[in-house]
Structure 1
Amino acid sequence: MAENEMILDPELAAEQKRKAKHRKKVQAYIKKYVSLFIGSIITAVGLEIFLVPNNIIDGGVVGISIMASALTGQPLGIFIILFNLPFLYLGYKQIGKRFAFSTTFAILSLSAWTAYFGPVEKLTGDLFLAAIFGGIITGLGVGLIIRNGGSLDGTEIVAIILDKKSSFSIGEVVMFINLFILSSASLVFSWDKAMYSLVAYFVISKMIDIVIKGLDESYAVMIVTENHEEITAAIMARLGRGVTLLHGEGGYTGDPKKVLYSVVTRLEVDKLKEIVMEKDEASFVTINPVHDIVGGMFKKKAIH
């Protein structure tokens, strides 16, 4: 009997591990779609209570949809769905079905919530306040959707595809398309509405960055040094950060090199530079922003 239990134990442990992994996957899936749903609600509030009633548009497909709705009198949500359909197909073919499904869910949710908030009276008729607060709220919602693997804007899908096939970056393609769309607002509404739309677009873009990157940005640091032991000890002791040691080789000399890799917050960057220069003035340091961190023991520690 004891032998049978001993034999079954590894199988039971494997089954429990499999169930735990499945449970985490389901929880992550639920969290993702709840976030997409909440993001669509927030976006609809920004659009229907601030931007749309004041004839201020966002960029991309949503901006085109706002103008089409104003010209035809039809609900905004209908145009958001219709204009995004060809881009959803492109996204499915070129990027992947997960992205397409997440984006479809976000677009359908946004369309439903714009219909719900459409009849609600606008909070302000001041165009500047509408552009600022509408931009903040809309950017918060769109950022939450993008952070969870979705999108509301077909122009981003086009930009991702063109980025792979041309010398233009995603940001350059999106900016070019949106400048054209925002300029078109002057023909549908007026030049002052077009300029307020540009203000709103700028606020939305900055808010999206904040949601995706966070207020307290993190940076990945790589240090090529001959004095890796002292620098490692100093970073761990004075910043409380972990350090990974990589083995490299000089491209010209062929000499072995030690490369230190660590992640620090924006407030810790200057202190890290000070530590490195103090220990080895001949070291080479590169610092790059990190948009997200998963796993590990990355927590804020006091600088001293």
Structure 2
Amino acid sequence: MKNLTPRQLLIFIGRILMTILGAFITAYGLESVLIPNQVSDGGITGVSIVGSNLFDIKLGYLIAVLNIPFIWLGYKQIGAKFAILSIVGILSLAFFTSIMHHIPAIIEGDSLLVTIVGGVIIGTGMGIALRNGGALDGIDMFAVLLSRKLPFGTSDFILFLNIFVFILVSTVFGFEGAMLSAIAYFIASKVIHLIEEGLSGSKTFTIITTKPKSIIEEIKDELGRTCTYNEIHGGYTDIAFTQITCVINRLEEQKLKEIITTKDPHAFIAVYDVSDVKKGSFIKQDLQK
């Protein structure tokens, strides 16, 4: 942190502000949609909601206190910047849930609408925080630590830990409330993923072909994109091929598939999601001069 340049410091401050915005949106989703309708969130926030109902303790206090050990885990496993942003986010979430506790619900009674709207709102808030380098809930940090110690993936542990959270939720909101909470959490997780990837997103195409020049030229002419390529050999046939790699946005995906199919119907294609792209050869050239 001490070695940050003025520009890096400005970027970091911007991330802090965006993390606070994410906490504000999440708190609004909790207090105006989910909690008034007896629906909870997952993770430490879900445990805090249960504790608040059982022991009549302010939700903000529990969110702040229960996340302390997980912030320490985040600091040890990921770094100081992540820990600082997470502290800001979690304290902001605790503060905003406290001041919004008595705001009127914007939706009441419609279980399906509550889970969808609530999930979208809290997913948007948490996604904004995560995209800017922080976290609003400590269960993800705990899952990362467990996945490094045991032979299971992070997502497996997040799902496993949240099963116990929703069982705990059922003791306060009943079985229906627990099921609605699980649905809202699922929707929120999908929104978080969408925000982390971006609305447009990007794709990496790996193309293995015997006709590289015509494909590369067509990509340049039709999409304004450049590619990289290298010579490879088939492991079974030992035939020489060219492997082309090209990064595009999602809107160009179908067009690129058409180009490949037209130029080489027998080409092998593998497509991968890309969460972020920074400059370099990804800069698109104008098609119309």
Q: TM-score, normalised by structure 1?
A: 0.85
**Is 1:70 aligned to residue 53 of structure 2?**
yes
- Identity in percent: 37
**Is 1:80 aligned to residue 63 of structure 2?**
yes
Go from structure 1 to structure 2 and tell me whether the alpha carbon gap of 1:62 and 1:299 turns closer, same or farther (over 3 Å shift): farther
Q: Which residue of 2 is the match for residue 174 of structure 1?
A: 158
CA offset digits 1:142-180 (Å, max 9, x no partner): 000011111122211122122223331111111111122
**Is 1:228 aligned to residue 230 of structure 2?**
no
Q: Which residue of 1 is the match for residue 261 of structure 2?
A: 277
| Residue type at the aligned position of 2:10 | Q
Q: Where in structure 2 are there 5+ consecutive unaligned residues?
A: none
Go from structure 1 to structure 2 and tell me whether the alpha carbon gap of 1:103 and 1:82 turns closer, same or farther (over 3 Å shift): same
1:140 to 115, 124, 147: 124
How many residues are matched?
A: 282
- Give 1:40 shift: 0.7
Question: Is 1:127–1:196's contact at 8 Å kept on the other side of the alignment?
Answer: no
Go from structure 1 to structure 2 and tell me whether the alpha carbon gap of 1:301 and 1:167 turns closer, same or farther (over 3 Å shift): farther
Q: Where in structure 1 are there 5+ consecutive unaligned residues?
A: 1-20
Q: Which residue of 2 is the match for residue 239 of structure 1?
A: 223
| Residue type at the aligned position of 1:131 | T
2:106 to 123, 133, 136: 123
Q: Which residue of 2 is the match for residue 158 of structure 1?
A: 142
Q: Measure, in 2, the Cα distance between the counterparts of 1:124 and 1:272.
A: 44
- Greater Cα offset, 291-300 or 141-150: 291-300
| Residue type at the aligned position of 1:145 | A
Q: Measure, in 2, the Cα distance between the counterparts of 1:132 and 1:204.
A: 9
Go from structure 1 to structure 2 and tell me whether the alpha carbon gap of 1:279 and 1:155 turns closer, same or farther (over 3 Å shift): same
CA RMSD of aligned residues (A): 2.2
Question: Is 1:41–1:141's contact at 8 Å kept on the other side of the alignment?
Answer: yes
Question: Is 1:46–1:138's contact at 8 Å kept on the other side of the alignment?
Answer: yes
- Say which SS state the counterpart of residue 90 (structure 1) adopts: helix
Runs of 4+ in 1 over 6 A off after TM superposition: none
Question: Is 1:80–1:107's contact at 8 Å kept on the other side of the alignment?
Answer: yes
Q: Measure, in 2, the Cα distance between the counterparts of 1:31 and 1:136.
A: 23
- Give 1:183 shift: 2.5
What pairs up with 1:1-304 in 2 under 5 angstroms? 22-128=5-111, 129-251=113-235, 257-296=241-280, 297-298=282-283
Q: Measure, in 1, the Cα distance between the counterparts of 2:279 and 2:38.
A: 44
Q: Measure, in 2, the Cα distance between the counterparts of 1:174 and 1:190.
A: 22
- Greater Cα offset, 53-62 or 217-226: 217-226
CA offset digits 1:258-302 (Å, max 9, x no partner): 321111233322322222232223432211001122223445988
- Give 1:125 shift: 2.3
- Greater Cα offset, 157-166 or 85-94: 157-166
- Give 1:69 shift: 0.6
| Residue type at the aligned position of 2:262 | E
- Greater Cα offset, 267-276 or 85-94: 267-276
Q: Measure, in 1, the Cα distance between the counterparts of 2:147 and 2:41.
A: 22
Go from structure 1 to structure 2 and tell me whether the alpha carbon gap of 1:100 and 1:246 turns closer, same or farther (over 3 Å shift): farther
- Give 1:250 shift: 4.5
Q: Measure, in 1, the Cα distance between the counterparts of 2:22 and 2:12.
A: 15
- Greater Cα offset, 246-255 or 126-135: 246-255
- Greater Cα offset, 96-105 or 37-46: 96-105
- Give 1:132 shift: 2.1
Question: Is 1:77–1:115's contact at 8 Å kept on the other side of the alignment?
Answer: yes
